[in-house]
Structure 1
Amino acid sequence: MKTKRTTQILAASVLGLALAGVAAPALADDAPSGSGIDVSVKIEPITTPGQVSMTVADNTGVSLQENGSDAAARQFVGTLPTVTVSDTRKPEDIPAGDYWAVVGQASQFTATSGSAAPIGPEYLGWIPRLLTDSTTGAVSAGEPVSSVVSDGSGAPTVGLKGQELLVSTANSADEIGTWKVNADLALRTPVDVAAGEYHSTLTLSLFNQS
């Protein structure tokens, strides 16, 4: 459970009022000298609790280009924009067994015109690539997955129907930091796929669980 805490700082001020037309009382020659009172305050900095967050590099989408087609399939490839996950929590604030994962899921490719049948997300595969060195192995890239039209790599032929792009271990002391990852995308379709322009939405979600 995440708790949002708001700290309010109250500013105190002293307002001096000058009253016109009121004579000030005369001071006796033997009036005692004034005594100053020091007023102090220590204002602590505002602190924001650490959190796990995800950002995606600015992009205009991914345009897949034909490359690697053969007698068994037509193949269209591209590169996913860089995804960054930052964990700014303190080790003592992370529950035992806590971990996070970035999961990607594609919608079906729908033709923008004509009556071409949609291409399901099971035809889109990826190979995640960790761009940040991890000497402890606390964070790793997800497993490659292939289109249901196999590319011969031996990767599971399940497509992007909810696959991990980046995942952390449950070691809270080692997973803190900033991690970058992207992925090689490959759409492999049957050779008789209908010509046309198709569009899909690839949704990336960050899950944090313990």
Structure 2
Amino acid sequence: MRINRTTQLLAAAVLGLALAGAGVAGPALADDNPGSGIDVSVKIEPITTPGQLSMTVADNNGVSLTENGSDAAARQFTGTLPTVTVSDTRNPEDIPEGEFWAVVGQSSQFVASDDPAKTIGPQYLGWKPRLLSDSSTGAVSAGEPVSSVISDGTGAPEVGLQGQELLVSTANSSDEIGTSKVNADLALRTPVDVAAGEYHSTLTLSLFNQT
């Protein structure tokens, strides 16, 4: 896999334009030969920028998880991921056959502010991706839900947020073109005896392109 983060730009050729009659001295034309002037013309094509595949995340101040849905099996803390937008403005003929892309999420471990020795691993954080809008032709879908290693009872794989897909396209380049928006319900399910404290983690979202 390779991360497709680079914005690709075209170098535009600039045409020099000479304008006749701009104060430049020259020989006078004979009055009896009005057809001796030379018409100079130029056709300037518009500057075009190639399409690109890009990802943006809505402005946010981070996500604060709050306790919601705790039970005898686990303490649960929930929140909502900011909206993530993937735009594909490439021409279908510029996309290699069989290429597809995916947005993948990876959580670091939660570390307590008052004691770095107190941690909660990424395997305790799950999510349920939700496709908000899609202007492609149905070739983009939200990733599958994953649960904390402490089951949430939904039957989702109990693997935690360790390299899980948030949004993925199919390998049909002509159908990928468009803009798709997605977010996700986050749920941190910890053991009931988790140490009290304020914990912080980093959730990294990466856009991968693969053939």
Q: Which residue of 2 aligns with 1:12?
A: 17
How far has the Cα of 1:174 moved from its partner? 1.1
| Contact map agreement 2:125 2:147 (CA 8 A) in 1 | yes
Q: Which residue of 2 aligns with 1:36?
A: 37
**Length-normalised TM-score, structure 2:** 0.88
Q: Relative to structure 1, is the Cα distance of residues 130 and 32 closer, same or farther in structure 2, using a 3 angstrom cutoff?
A: same
Aligned-residue CA RMSD in angstroms? 2.5
Q: Which residue of 2 aligns with 1:171?
A: 172
| Contact map agreement 2:134 2:140 (CA 8 A) in 1 | no
CA distance, structure 1, for counterparts of residue 176 and residue 116 of structure 2:
48
Does residue 118 of structure 2 align to residue 117 of structure 1? yes
Which amino acid letter does the alignment assign opposite residue 179 of structure 2?
T
| Contact map agreement 1:166 1:181 (CA 8 A) in 2 | yes
Report how many residues are paired.
203
CA distance, structure 1, for counterparts of residue 137 and residue 38 of structure 2:
57
Q: Which residue of 2 aligns with 1:93?
A: 94
CA distance, structure 1, for counterparts of residue 130 and residue 52 of structure 2:
24
Structure 2: runs of 5 or more not aligned: none
CA distance, structure 1, for counterparts of residue 135 and residue 48 of structure 2:
28
Q: Which residue of 2 aligns with 1:21?
A: none
Alignment of 1:28-107 (within 5 A): 32-34=32-34, 35-107=36-108
Which amino acid letter does the alignment assign opposite residue 111 of structure 1?
A
Provide, for residues 51-93 of structure 1, a one-character-per-residue CA deviation record: whole Å limited to 9, x for no partner. 1100000000000010000111000000000000001011111
Secondary structure of 1:78 counterpart:
strand
| Contact map agreement 1:116 1:194 (CA 8 A) in 2 | no
CA distance, structure 2, for counterparts of residue 58 and residue 135 of structure 1:
24
Which amino acid letter does the alignment assign opposite residue 128 of structure 2?
I
| Contact map agreement 1:101 1:167 (CA 8 A) in 2 | yes
Secondary structure of 1:128 counterpart:
strand
| Contact map agreement 2:139 2:172 (CA 8 A) in 1 | yes
| Contact map agreement 2:68 2:77 (CA 8 A) in 1 | yes
Identity %, equivalent residues: 76
**Length-normalised TM-score, structure 1:** 0.88
Structure 1: runs of 5 or more not aligned: 19-23
| Contact map agreement 1:67 1:77 (CA 8 A) in 2 | yes
Q: Which residue of 2 aligns with 1:160?
A: 161
Provide, for residues 106-133 of structure 1, a one-character-per-residue CA deviation record: whole Å limited to 9, x for no partner. 0000111136521111000000000115
Q: Relative to structure 1, is the Cα distance of residues 119 and 71 closer, same or farther in structure 2, using a 3 angstrom cutoff?
A: same
CA distance, structure 2, for counterparts of residue 44 and residue 159 of structure 1:
52
CA distance, structure 2, for counterparts of residue 135 and residue 47 of structure 1:
22
